Amino acid sequence: MNQRKVARDLHSIDEEEYIEDLKGIILDAAKRCRNCNYCFTICPLFHSTRGFMSQTPSGIMQSINYALKWDVFKGEDQEILRDLLYLCTTCNGCVLRCKSKATGLPVLDAIEAGRKLLREMMIGPLPQQRKPLKDIYLYGNPYGEKPERRVDWTKGLKVKIIPPERAEVLFYVGCTTAYEPSLHLIGKSLVRLLQSLHVDFGILNEEVCCGEPARRMGDEGLFQEMMNRNLDQFKSYGIKTIVSISPHCFNTFLNEYPTIQEEIKIQHYTEFLAEAFKGKKPLFKKEISSVITYHDPCYLGKHNQIFNAPRELLQMIPGVKLVEMKMTREESLCCGGGGGRMFAEVEEERRLSDMRITQALEAGANIIATACPWCYKMLQNSIQDSNLEDKIRAKDISIILSEALN
């Protein structure tokens, strides 16, 4: 059974049927698991926790499986189970490894079905994740910021606002870039890049969360409410192309909004720019003499196999030496911010982002580039906390490209 079947409008099925669908996903995947353990070493938790079997993809899946079989949903056991399920970063590494080495089980679907089940039982999500869910419902973003402040970052920029204006391309900014001051430069850099290409684009005046955090944290009802709000806006304004900053928003629109691909072209900005710059005379005239390594965001790489476009963009810049870390592309190490973990502290022996910075330094890089606001925040925090600002910097690709423009 595929989790996409559970993604249909919850108003069309009753609660008991929904819960039985979730249980079916979990039990079916667990039954077919061979316990070969190939998924262990690709899992970020294998690197950041104590290495207990319960903290691995198959271990987490079997934990919720046996909880169902033994009806272990009370007292201290339910909190242990909840903490295990919400450890997962949802990076999709286990799914890729199972496809290449074993039986191709939908391991992540089972884990996320477990989260939805715990949410229905009022056990999940983690205590720290409850406020972001409430804020999405009340304010349209997980940070509790006022909706009317969402476009404040555009002050001083000539950007079309939809409505009242219209544009061929919707530049979907996302909650984090819109509200986090340290990330405003990403949005401004992309405005400059799109304008340099003479793209007819605009941003939504009443943009709201894509709903991805809600689904990752198990709140399917809230996810579908946000999905419907977005789809209504896209349809009302005749949107034909969406370019997003966040890989999480991109993946949500592309893979989790049913039928949207039939009407709207969905692209991450690295894809859009790589296509747009190909065949044009060199626009990047300023030399940037840096050794750069690229960190693959999980929802761009492991979820959607977009590995080349970001690297092609970096290689267009004069002076850039591109190097690879020891874990890259399909084997890339997660930054630790996915799966709702941006909103909660989890038990780790060592932060994943700290390990990633170490790998970047070992590769000889003085810049670790990425193409995801959450990855950038996680990596930048690790650099600051480790007092490594004099050795390496984290930068979004959009900022590097903007700096290199003539």
Digit-coded pLDDT (tens) for 247-268: 999 999 999 998 888 889 999 9
Positions of the chain with pLDDT under 70? 1-13, 51-54, 281-282, 406
CATH of region 3-124: 1.10.1060
CATH of region 291-404: 3.40.50
pLDDT of residue 281: 65
pLDDT of residue 270: 97
The contacts of residue 83 (CB under 8 Å, 6+ apart) are 126, 346, 347
pLDDT of residue 226: 96
pLDDT of residue 13: 60
Take residue 20 and report the two structure tokens written for it: 């039985």
pLDDT of residue 8: 43
CATH 3.40.50 maps onto the chain at 129-277, 291-404
Given CA atoms 212, 213, 216, 219 in this order, what sign does their dihedral have? negative
CATH 1.10.1060 maps onto the chain at 3-124
Q: How far apart are CA 333 and CA 20, in angstroms?
A: 34
Contacts of 251-258 spanning 24+ positions with Cβ under 8 A: 251/212, 251/299, 251/300, 251/303, 251/304, 252/210, 252/211, 252/212, 252/215, 253/172, 253/210, 254/304, 255/303, 255/304, 256/7, 256/212, 256/215, 256/227, 257/227, 257/230, 257/231, 258/4, 258/7, 258/8
pLDDT of residue 37: 80
Q: How many residues does the chain have?
A: 406
Q: Is 129-277 a CATH 1.20.1060 domain?
A: no
Q: Output the pTM of the full model.
A: 0.92
